[in-house]
Amino acid sequence: MSGGRLIPRDRDAHPVAHDLNYKTSVTRSPSMPLLSLESTPTEESGPRFGHSDLGPLDHDLIRNWTGGKENAVGERILVHGRVLDEQGRGLPGSLVEVWQANAGGRYRHKMDGYLAPLDPHFGGAGRCLTDESGQYAFMTIKPGAYPWPNRGNDWRPAHIHFSLFGASFGQRLITQMYFEGDPLIDRCPIAHTIKDRSQIDRLVAPLDMSRSRPLDHLAYRFDIVLRGRRQSYFENRPEGL
């Protein structure tokens, strides 16, 4: 444990808990106020994971379901970016987990009954650790949009679910990455549980031709910011000085 208290969460930067347009949230959102307190060692510590926890293909969703024998169907993409904290520092060695639908918009989950078929070569989950500067990268296929039972005709924009650990349990975050140019983002009641438009925009990954590989794959960049730690110049030396 190093550093000070976690910076309090700006709840306005996050979705509202209760949103009539996302119907399931209505019965799954607390109605009483949250109890806001300064973080304690419980929130300031957290699980750490190492390379020995991961397999060699865990970061490659195109090939990991078949153990590298086959390639999944779909538009091949590299998804990469940096995990930072609110001070702009990269978070090294932190776990990033992703899951997604296949190119037809179907999840490999026993509860998904959408009529698009499963791809026998695609599982839809991956994970990796950030490097010393907080960078991560996955190879995957671009997921398809899919319909879901909510309002009369709601469709999810193409998205990849991200789970982030950072370095402490109080930084824990799950979010979704969307793709530049997708017209379904503006119609999506889940994206619009976030009421600050600029916060939605920050979930939309731009095409990044600098990391695309000719005749192989496109690339999208998605940076993620987790909560930071407050520093007191009067109590202890700031990290890195």
Partner 1 sequence: MVQKLVTHSETASQTAGPYVHIGLMPTHAGNSSTFETELGVSPILGGAKGSPIEISGQVLDATGNPMLDAVIESWQADAQGLFPGQQGADRNVKGFCRFAIDPQTERFTLKTIKPGPVALPEGGEQSPHIALWIVARGINIGLSTRVYFEDADVDQDPVLRRVQPRERLQTLKAKPLGGGAYNFDVRLQGPNETVFLDM
Is 146 among the residues known to form the active site?
yes
CA pair distance 158, 103, nearest whole angstrom: 9
Is 220 among the residues known to form the active site?
no
Is 178 among the residues known to form the active site?
no
Is 211 among the residues known to form the active site?
no
Burial of 234 (0-12, 13-18, 19+ CB in 10 A): exposed
Q: With binding defined as CB under 8 A, does residue 138 bind partner 1?
A: no
The single residue of 107, 136, 178, 220 carrying the catalytic annotation is 107
Q: With binding defined as CB under 8 A, does residue 71 bind partner 1?
A: no
Taking CB under 8 A as the binding criterion, the range among 3-11, 71-79, 134-142, 210-218 that sits at the site for partner 1 is 3-11
- Residue closer to partner 1 by CB (options 176, 212) is 176
Q: With binding defined as CB under 8 A, does residue 150 bind partner 1?
A: no
Angle at 157 between CA 154 and CA 158, to 5 degrees: 140
3-state secondary structure of 98: strand
Is 161 among the residues known to form the active site?
yes
CA pair distance 135, 72, nearest whole angstrom: 25
Question: Exactly one of 116, 125, 137, 184 binds partner 1 (CB under 8 A); which one?
Answer: 125
CA pair distance 81, 98, nearest whole angstrom: 13
Q: Which residues in 72-111 contact partner 1 (CB under 8 A)?
A: 84-88, 95, 97-99, 101, 107-111
The tokens for 36 are 């806001």
The single residue of 18, 89, 161, 192 carrying the catalytic annotation is 161
How many CA atoms lie within 13 Å of 89's alpha carbon, on the beta-carbon side?
A: 16
CB 24, min distance to partner 1, A:
3
Q: With binding defined as CB under 8 A, does residue 16 bind partner 1?
A: yes
Q: With binding defined as CB under 8 A, does residue 186 bind partner 1?
A: no
CB 213, min distance to partner 1, A:
26
Number of residues lying near partner 1 (CB under 8 A): 86
The tokens for 99 are 């899951």
Q: With binding defined as CB under 8 A, does residue 46 bind partner 1?
A: yes
Q: With binding defined as CB under 8 A, does residue 169 bind partner 1?
A: yes
- Residue closer to partner 1 by CB (options 110, 216) is 110
Cβ 125 vs Cβ 162: under 8 Å: no
Question: Exactly one of 77, 91, 185, 200 binds partner 1 (CB under 8 A); which one?
Answer: 200
- Tell me the residue ranges of DSSP E strands in 86-151: 95-100, 125-129, 135-141, 146-148
Q: With binding defined as CB under 8 A, does residue 127 bind partner 1?
A: yes
Give the type of residue at 227: R
Burial of 117 (0-12, 13-18, 19+ CB in 10 A): exposed
Give catalytic residues, as residue numbers.
107, 146, 156, 159, 161
